[in-house]
Amino acid sequence: MKVLVIGNGMVGSRFVDELVRRDPDVRVTVLGKETHEPYNRVLLSSVVAGKTAPDSLAMATADSDRVDVLAGVAATHIDRAARTVTDSRGQRHSYDRLVFATGSQARIPSIQGIATDRGLIPGVSVLKDLDDAEGIVAAIPKARRAVVLGAGVLGLEVATGLASRGLAVTLVHHSDRLMERQLGDAASRIATGSLTRLGVTVITQTSVAHARDRRGVLSAVTLTDGTELLTDMLVMCAGTIPEAALARGAGLPCERGILVGADLASPADSSVFAIGDCAQPPEGGTGLVAQGWDQASRLVDQWTADAVADRAAQPSEQVGADLTNVVRVKAMGLDVVTMGLSGKFDHGERDLRAVRMSDPAIGRFVEVVVSHGLLVGATVVGDKQCASELSAMYTRMLPVPSDPAHLIIRPLASAARPAATSVADMGDDHTVCQCNSVPKGRIVAAVEGGCGSVEDVSRATRAGTGCGDCRSLVGDIIRSCAAAQEANDAKVPALAGSMEG
């Protein structure tokens, strides 16, 4: 089988790698517009924040002579009748199956003055590829102020990343709340508080109207409400647009992205597929790489018959739920995680149990949504432990406690340990030496029987002869016995004294 993949990004390359591993006969040609090897785009904001070295972004690629990757070569035309794709060099490739993994492009809002014929003016950028990230990083040393447009996940990551590098950052957002697709009002308010503490100024319900430059370089932006902000940098994080032009040109049905069914095939052509950001599956595209990777695996499963039985047992197939939509902001000091039902949804729906805790004073907000004993949604701001446990529970579809409130009060891990019990509080049956199962009572008896040192007690009871960790505790017990004895001894004359008096 000859497979042609258009796009050599995170999803396309993963798909090809899995496919050649699982199908020993397949031959694959990959047309990749970028000259870079596939790299981890999700971490671009970490590069901007200075937390990730750009050279650690390269992803694994298929290691097979059955794969031909043409880097820097774009697909330009598709002839579905002939099953051929023409590339930017004019070469034609035939295929049995065609897979679009063309990803998406950054949406550039219409803002006056941000661009000339040569493109965006210096100081203005998006963050979609490695060149964008490196451009921003290069500009940081000379910049004092930055404006970030858009408070989605990427906008929050860029804003906090730049703030952590010492820039005065203003985050401008069109909606009345941050991450409006994922967060409700209360959660957004609490997240805003965290941002403020990190030194980010948040301005909502407005946008950037135009940009001003000084000698061709960005110097200020004016918001739609007329406010003018001096700035050295404008990073536009205003969402993405699926890259569907080529598919559209080939007569494939497209809306926002390339329409595909649950089988990831185009309804108009069963030999054409789309995965990742460019695709628009029935449940909708989330723009998350987890969804794209899941689609890549599913498509490979679908094409390799032996896997079908395995897959049937997978939880995600059992209920048809999308377990990949965990949205996680990667930012130091700002912990926002959502999954499934979150933000504004119909809380009145019958089968849902939603429990919410809002704790603005310490910047914490947790809401969990449970249905039929499973977690179907959660919003967590400012509680890392809770967020990580809920995400694992959600993605693995683990049953929730009888009362969902327990998910909020203390999720999976046990509560903080109580302080070590003092010797006085220990019962006689409290095991002091785990290695030799020696209870406190037996140690007390040994001391009362004349053992005056830890060594004596060890000889008599074996306590402290394993890992040795309880030796100090044995010492405490000996001292407390001695103190009790002294008090006892002291009592007699004291009593006698009082009688005398």
Which spans of this chain sit near other proteins (rule: CB under 8 A)?
14, 39-40, 42-43, 46, 51-53, 56-61, 290, 313, 315, 318, 326, 328, 330, 332, 384-385, 387-389, 391-402, 406, 412-415, 417, 420, 434-437, 462, 465-469
- Residue 76 or 395: the one with the smaller Cβ distance to other proteins is 395
Report residue 83 CA to chain centroid gap.
39
- Residue 96 or 403: the one with the smaller Cβ distance to other proteins is 403
- Least Å distance between CB 305 and other proteins? 19
DSSP-H helix ranges across 250-404:
289-303, 307-312, 315-319, 384-395
- CA geometry: angle 351, 353, 357, nearest 5 deg: 160
- Least Å distance between CB 464 and other proteins? 9
**Amino acid in position 236:** M
Q: How far is CA 442 from CA 22, 347, 452, 461, 483, in A?
A: 63, 58, 14, 7, 18
- Least Å distance between CB 412 and other proteins? 5
- Least Å distance between CB 103 and other proteins? 16
- Residue 75 or 400: the one with the smaller Cβ distance to other proteins is 400
- Residue 415 or 499: the one with the smaller Cβ distance to other proteins is 415
- Residue 146 or 393: the one with the smaller Cβ distance to other proteins is 393
- Least Å distance between CB 285 and other proteins? 19
359-365 long-range contacts, CB within 8 A, separation 24+: 359/190, 360/186, 360/189, 360/190, 360/193, 363/190, 363/193, 363/194, 363/197, 364/190, 365/186, 365/187, 365/190, 365/191
For residues 474 and 373, give the distance between their C-alpha atoms in angstroms, rounded to a whole number: 47
For residues 96 and 79, give the distance between their C-alpha atoms in angstroms, rounded to a whole number: 12
- Least Å distance between CB 300 and other proteins? 13
- Residue 138 or 420: the one with the smaller Cβ distance to other proteins is 420
- Residue 32 or 123: the one with the smaller Cβ distance to other proteins is 32
Backbone angles phi, psi at 406, to 5 degrees: -65, -25
Compute the Cα dihedral for 368, 370, 373, 375 and give only its sign.
negative
Note whether 404 and 351 are within 8 A (CB): no
Q: How far is CA 316 from CA 275, 294, 327, in A?
A: 17, 10, 17
Q: How far is CA 26 from CA 16, 301, 330, 400, in A?
A: 10, 14, 37, 43
- Least Å distance between CB 420 and other proteins? 8
- Least Å distance between CB 219 and other proteins? 34
- Residue 132 or 389: the one with the smaller Cβ distance to other proteins is 389
- Least Å distance between CB 101 and other proteins? 16
- Residue 121 or 198: the one with the smaller Cβ distance to other proteins is 198
Angle between helices 471-500 and 454-461 (to 10 degrees): 110
> Token digits for 153?
């996940």
> Token digits for 441?
């009572």
Count of other CB atoms within 10 angstroms of residue 474:
28
